[in-house]
Structure 1
Amino acid sequence: MSLYQVNKLLRDINRSAELAGRCQTAPDAVLQEYDLTPEERAAVKGWQVRTLYDMGANPLLLLVYSMATGKDLPTYVKALNENR
């Protein structure tokens, strides 16, 4: 697991509107720029918030990632509470 790389990606999305946009239009290209496992890639690409949280991703970075990719707070909370 490359948790550092997951959190780095989430942080970078927060810091760069251009990167956030590319995540929506060309996610595979963006994900190739980070050293992620196949499971991590799938979770980020599929916006699997609960899975990322369970892997150890920072919840604040997950929230910011969600907002940067067009999700609202209730949608984020619902996704975070999935399968609890």
Structure 2
Amino acid sequence: MSQYQLSRLLRDIARDAEIALRCHTELPAVLKNYNLDEVEKDAVKNWSIPTLYDMGINPLLLLTSSMAMGTDIRAYTAALNEKR
């Protein structure tokens, strides 16, 4: 697992609206630019906030990238607090 690569992807999503849009339309092509393992790719494909958090992603980075992906703050909070 490469927390750096995953964090880099989420940072890019939060900073660049075009990358966020491409994640909705052509995610496999976007993921090829990052050295992620299958577990990380699945977490991004499913946009699993609890899984990404458990992988060590900074909560603020996860929040900003989630908002860029269209998740509202209430849904983000609920997902982060859900029982696993």
Aligned to 2:22: 22
Q: Distance in 2 between matches of 1:33 and 1:58?
A: 21
The TM-score normalised by the length of structure 1 is 0.95
The TM-score normalised by the length of structure 2 is 0.95
Within 5 A, what are the aligned runs for 1:1-84? Answer: 1-84=1-84
Q: Distance in 2 between matches of 1:17 and 1:5?
A: 19
Q: Secondary structure at the match of 1:33?
A: coil
Aligned residues: 84
Structure 2: gaps of 5 or more residues? none
Amino acid aligned to 1:19: I
CA-to-aligned-CA distance 1:60-80 (integer Å, 9 cap, x gap): 111011100111000001111
The 4+ residue runs of structure 1 with deviation greater than 3 A are none
1:82 Cα deviation (Å)? 2.0
Structure 1: gaps of 5 or more residues? none
Q: Percent identity?
A: 58
